[in-house]
């Protein structure tokens, strides 16, 4: 998931990878990929497809940034992903959340869906565990949150999703992106907020 707050964005994910929903093949995988200094992406769908697309998009983004002689805009990163997803929609099964900060528009969150639609949203959730927290995020999101409120929002949402979805779990990876740069926060499972039945 990713959410904008006053002055930046926070992108977060769980850390569980499973094989066929039966075995946890990794408890601590990091699903947040840095494509530039202040732009991060997280993958959804087939991880293999997503990784391949991200590698290509990162390369193209760097080239674009060199040609423009300026750091890339967040929408540039999202557009490159969209282009790849749309023109190869028959072969690929990958979706992305792109979040970052640029001097032109500040904090932004973009979603590239499976077929290649690109939209901008104040916050977004994705993945199998996201179904369980649509209600929570709809109810609790406020525009112009502070950094601490944003962190609490993402941490709570991830903890709730991990509590109900059996293929989500492990630690919570969060990256806070602001004008100053990107800061990676890891919250281990036992430090996540607990809710009524735990």
Partner 1 sequence: MLEEQGPEWMSEEVKTGTTIIAVEFDGGVVLGSDSRVSAGASVVNRVMNKLSPLHDRIYCALSGSAADAQTIAETVNYQLDVHSMELGQDPLVCSAATLVKNISYQYKEELSAHLIVGGWDRRGGGQVYATLSGLLTRQPFALGGSGSSYVYGYLDAEYRAGAGRTDTQRLVVDTLSLAMSRDGSSGGVAYLVTIDGDGVEEKVFLGNELPTFYDQ
- Site for partner 1, rule CB under 8 A: 131-143, 156-157, 160-161, 163-164, 195-197
Closest approach, Cβ 97 to partner 1, in A, equals 18
Number of other residues whose CB lies within 10 A of the CB of residue 89? 13
Alpha helix positions (H), the chain? 47-68, 74-87, 134-140, 147-164
Compare residues 106 and 122 and give the one whose CB is closer to partner 1: 122
Closest approach, Cβ 168 to partner 1, in A, equals 11
Phi, then psi, of 59 in degrees rounded to 5: -60, -50
Compare residues 86 and 132 and give the one whose CB is closer to partner 1: 132
Closest approach, Cβ 186 to partner 1, in A, equals 21
Closest approach, Cβ 196 to partner 1, in A, equals 5
Compare residues 84 and 161 and give the one whose CB is closer to partner 1: 161
Residue 110 forms beta bridges with which residues?
98, 120
Closest approach, Cβ 141 to partner 1, in A, equals 5
Compare residues 59 and 195 and give the one whose CB is closer to partner 1: 195
CA 119 to the chain's CA centroid? 14
Q: What is the chain's length?
A: 198
Nearest CA among 49, 22, 27, 5 for reference residue 162 = 27
Closest approach, Cβ 126 to partner 1, in A, equals 14
Q: What is the dihedral of CA 130, 160, 49, 68, to 10 degrees?
A: 90
Compare residues 55 and 142 and give the one whose CB is closer to partner 1: 142
Compare residues 50 and 109 and give the one whose CB is closer to partner 1: 109
Q: What is the dihedral of CA 110, 160, 141, 107, to 10 degrees?
A: -30
Residue 62 CB partners (closer than 8 Å, separation 6+): 36
């Amino acid at each position: 998931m990713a959410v904008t707050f006053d002055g930046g964005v926070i992108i977060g994910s769980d850390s569980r990878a499973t094989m066929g929903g039966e075995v946890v093949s990794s408890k601590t995988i990091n699903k947040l990929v840095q494509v530039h200094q202040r732009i991060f992406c997280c993958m959804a769908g087939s991880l293999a497809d997503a990784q391949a697309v991200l590698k290509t998009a990162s390369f193209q983004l760097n080239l674009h940034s060199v040609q423009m002689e300026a750091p890339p805009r967040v929408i540039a990163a999202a557009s490159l992903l969209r282009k790849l997803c749309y023109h190869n929609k028959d072969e690929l099964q990958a979706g992305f959340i792109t979040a970052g900060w640029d001097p032109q528009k500040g904090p932004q969150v973009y979603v590239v869906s499976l077929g290649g639609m690109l939209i901008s949203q104040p916050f977004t959730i994705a993945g199998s565990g996201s179904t369980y927290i649509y209600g929570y995020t709809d109810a609790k999101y406020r525009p112009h949150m502070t950094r601490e409120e944003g962190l609490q929002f993402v941490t709570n949402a991830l903890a709730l999703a991990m509590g109900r979805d059996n293929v989500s779990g492990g630690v919570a990876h969060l990256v806070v992106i602001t004008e100053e740069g990107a800061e990676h926060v890891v919250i281990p499972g036992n430090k996540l907020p607990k809710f009524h039945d735990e």
